[in-house]
Structure 1
């Protein structure tokens, strides 16, 4: 009897590959995630990227606004067993508070506005981060992810996506010409919380983002050995 590999969902793979393209370090870091959680972790990371890209990407906010409105409907549908997006094939069946995540999308979109200072930036992403904490408590075993570590990784993502547009006004006045993004990265690094009180995937995402900031570029992937060491330190706490 011939054996066939399971059919792949090309549409789903395209979204997973988009996230892996931005975070190639995951090919190394995922070895620290239990095999049973890897598919969920990858799909969940991809969903967060879809939402934050829509909220903060591009110079024109209107396409992102339309995408986020669609996502609000989609996530509400997941609570009723209805899904249209390919990522739902991995996530919708899981008993996570998708409706709460949908309700956090408007505050995420409002975070496109430049914050006044670091505290304002943290407050702006808090509603979305709180929803992320609730979802991760349902998706992963282990300690509940703390709010501060999610806020840190979300703000790293904002800097990665939007560049200088993510920098608070208070730093624009202090940083030298061409240096605001680097100054904001340094400030995020200074405030970065300990990641030990978090799910295993979140600890890894936090460790990789933090190490990128240490190297001075939030968007530049780490070399494999540096990624492995950052991941190892992340899971050890």
Structure 2
């Protein structure tokens, strides 16, 4: 019972941060919902460690622990509650573990936008390989990179834009970086339906951020979310 409660707490933490999912999961087969949310919650754990503000040692230790945990999943051993759902999937957990240190490097402002994408691309490739087994589909590695960088800027408020972003004021440079990320967002129609949903929600948040001039805005109505979710899952 305790283990089940711990798993639920991780799944619910992700759902709370992405309330759009409560609408979109209507179009997801019930037997796939827990698997998808567990995988997304794991991704969020990685990104939270990247987006730490202040002292980084605890986050570094957390990523190191996750590296060990993923190596254990490759040998069909797990300690974390998310492993109850994900470890039985025979994915490249070792390759993903080896890519986690790149998240530490990504905390520093990149010299250019191209460098920001390039330094996280091996991690994105590892994520894409695992997701193609966990959820199916053919997700673009760049999708993981751009989404992680977008959420770092919007949610964490700790990311300095790459040094090639023009402007003297932080707000203007962040807006320029957000626009660059929006333009770099890859197509995701070949990804699994669950990824298409989350990617569309994340891109929509970034788009609203840009349209509002660098400010966060409220979510659209449930009806608009419902229609948008239907287009992603049913319409492809």
Q: Could you list the runs of 5+ residues in structure 2 that have no partner in the other structure?
A: none
Displacement of 1:174 in angstroms is: 2.1
Assess, with a 3 A threshold, how the Cα gap between structure 1 residues 212 and 183 changes in structure 2: closer, same or farther: same
Task: Return 154-163 or 185-194, whichever deviates more.
Answer: 154-163
Q: Residue 71 of structure 2: SS of its match in structure 1?
A: helix
Runs of 4+ in 1 over 6 A off after TM superposition: none
Choose the corresponding residue for 2:142, options 144, 148, 152. Answer: 148
Assess, with a 3 A threshold, how the Cα gap between structure 1 residues 175 and 230 changes in structure 2: closer, same or farther: farther
Kindly report the root-mean-square deviation, in angstroms, between the aligned alpha carbons of the 2 structures.
2.2
Q: Could you list the runs of 5+ residues in structure 1 that have no partner in the other structure?
A: 1-5
The whole-number CA distance in structure 1 between the counterparts of 2:41 and 2:216 is 16
Q: Is the 8 A contact 2:124 2:145 kept in 1?
A: yes
Matches within 5 A, 1:30-69: 30-69=25-64
Displacement of 1:218 in angstroms is: 8.6
Q: Is the 8 A contact 2:71 2:94 kept in 1?
A: yes
Q: Is the 8 A contact 2:139 2:191 kept in 1?
A: yes
> For each residue in 1:25-51, what CA deviation from the matched residue of structure 2 results, as whole angstroms up to 9, or x when unmatched?
110111222222211110000001111
Choose the corresponding residue for 1:208, options 201, 226, 230. Answer: 201
Normalised to the residue count of structure 1, the TM-score between the two structures is 0.88
Q: Please say if 1:170 is aligned against 2:164.
A: yes
Q: Is the 8 A contact 1:111 1:125 kept in 2?
A: yes
Choose the corresponding residue for 2:219, options 211, 216, 222. Answer: 222
Normalised to the residue count of structure 2, the TM-score between the two structures is 0.88
Per the alignment, residue 83 of structure 1 pairs with 78
Question: Alignment length, in residue pairs?
Answer: 230
Q: Is the 8 A contact 2:147 2:199 kept in 1?
A: yes
Assess, with a 3 A threshold, how the Cα gap between structure 1 residues 12 and 37 changes in structure 2: closer, same or farther: same
The whole-number CA distance in structure 2 between the counterparts of 1:8 and 1:88 is 11
The whole-number CA distance in structure 2 between the counterparts of 1:218 and 1:42 is 28
Displacement of 1:158 in angstroms is: 2.1
Q: Is the 8 A contact 1:115 1:167 kept in 2?
A: yes
